[in-house]
Copies of this chain bind each other. A is one copy, B any other.
């Protein structure tokens, strides 16, 4: 499958966002993640639950199941399931066999989301969850604020979004109006480095303030010569931070004191091999009490992401017609995206080596 040239679309042995906390209520909600039909609900004690959504008896989808207490019952013959997926009652009698269970997926409420583990359950280590800081969610007391923007039902494979975020040179074209980028900055060669074991791609720019650029929108109060950095980092395959950092410029051109940080966090959860649940978070450490400014940021970010959705869906629609038969031209600017592709490919291969297909 383009672009990874593997049968599997994306690594799954990671925490992904299953949804917003409010999606986990007492009413059953249906969702598809990694092509698995799932039901989401919350127990009386407030615990979020995700179960596979097909009855073990006759494959009835459970999205119209009825909930009673913390159990759900199939709308066809009434097979009842506990919150751990175990079938506890077959209405026509008999003790449900041990194999009668829905797959229960580990879920954790963490930060502003509920996270799910779609891989082998024994690997579902909460220590692997992105830390709040990685989501831009530094504690409010230290001066950060975050706003969550729209969930796009992106009709494109997750890897296309990863490509997009690891080559920010597209900003000058796809987002020419919503996110103006001085064209000369395109020539700045991205810096690749490994930070905390993760690939970090930085586009660093210095020079006089560019009044009509996006960072002017973000930092209208900054007026002198500055050093700016666009930094993309994948914290997990389901969370990529494309941050903008701004510094005073030292007389020798190097970066001085921070003028502010803004994190544009991209949350992606594969729905199928060809579609992705796509949420955004905007986080900043300045003007954190300015609600009107927040609203402007969210509005702009939704516009920017809708432009990406247009591009990625255009590619998705046609890319399978040619498979991997058509060569791509890549240059220096694609280095980050290609490194991340290799990383994802390696993750998938490791998963395939560890887990026999049937057990996935």
A299 shortest CB reach to chain B, Å: 22
**Cα–Cα distance between A265 and B243 once the two chains are bound (Å):** 61
Q: How far is the CA of A319 from the CA of B96 in the complex (A)?
A: 22
If the complex has contacts A96-B329, A329-B100, are A318 and B73 also in contact, measured as CB distance less than 8 A? no
Contact bitstring A175-197, B, C-beta under 8 A = 1, else 0: 00000000100110100000000
User: Of all chain B residues, which has the CB nearest A92?
Assistant: B333
Q: A173 is contacted by which of B2, B78, B169 (Cβ under 8 Å)?
A: B78
Shortest Cβ distance from residue A53 to the other chain B in the assembled complex, whole angstroms: 9
What 0/1 readout, one digit per residue, does chain A (43-57) give for beta carbons within 8 Å of chain B?
Answer: 000000000001011
Interface residues on A, range: 35 or more
Q: Is the CB of B60 within 8 A of A330?
A: no
With known contacts A60-B314, A315-B61, A92–B187 Cβ distance under 8 A? yes
A70 is an interface residue with CB less than 8 A from chain B? no
Residue contact B333 to A93, C-beta cutoff 8 Å: yes
Contact in complex: B59, A92 (CB < 8 Å): no
A2 to chain B, nearest CB (A): 8
Assess whether B187 is in contact with A59, with CB atoms less than 8 Å apart.
no
Is B173 a contact partner of A74 (Cβ separation < 8 A)?
Answer: yes
Known: A315-B59, A318-B59. A331 touches B94 (CB 8 A): yes
A275 to chain B minimum Cβ distance, whole angstroms, is 15
Chain A: interface secondary structure? Answer: loop
A117–B78 alpha-carbon span in the complex (Å):
38
Which of these, B37, B87, B331, B332, contacts A329 with CB under 8 Å? B87
Contact of A59 (CB < 8 Å), options: B77, B170, B319: B319
Residues of B with C-beta under 8 A to A94 = 331-332
With a cutoff of 8 Å between Cβ atoms, the chain B residues found around residue A61 in the complex are: 314-315, 317-318
| A92 contacts across to B, CB distance below 8 A | 169, 186-187, 331-333
* B residues in contact with A97, CB < 8 Å: 329
A326 to B358: give the CA distance in the assembly, Å: 10
Tell me which residues across on chain B come within 8 A of A73, comparing CB atoms: 173
Residue-by-residue, is A63-87 near B (CB-CB < 8 Å gives 1, otherwise 0)?
A: 0100000000111111100000001
- In chain A between 97 and 127, which residues have their CB closer than 8 angstroms to a CB of chain B? 97, 99-100
Most buried by B among A77, A94, A173, A334: A77
A/B interface sample: 7 pairs, CB < 8 A: A35-B321, A54-B326, A61-B314, A61-B315, A73-B173, A78-B186, A90-B331
Given contacts A92-B169, A92-B187, A92-B331, 19 further A-B contacts (CB under 8 A): A54-B322, A56-B329, A57-B330, A58-B315, A59-B322, A76-B173, A77-B167, A77-B170, A77-B173, A78-B170, A78-B172, A78-B186, A92-B333, A93-B186, A93-B187, A93-B189, A93-B331, A94-B332, A99-B329
User: Which A-B residue pairs are the 7 nearest by beta carbons?
Assistant: A92-B333, A78-B173, A56-B329, A100-B329, A91-B186, A92-B169, A94-B331
Interface residues of A (CB under 8 A from B): 2, 35, 37, 54, 56-61, 64, 73-79, 87, 90-94, 96-97, 99-100, 163, 167, 169-170, 172-174, 183, 186-187, 189, 311, 314-315, 317-319, 321-322, 326-334
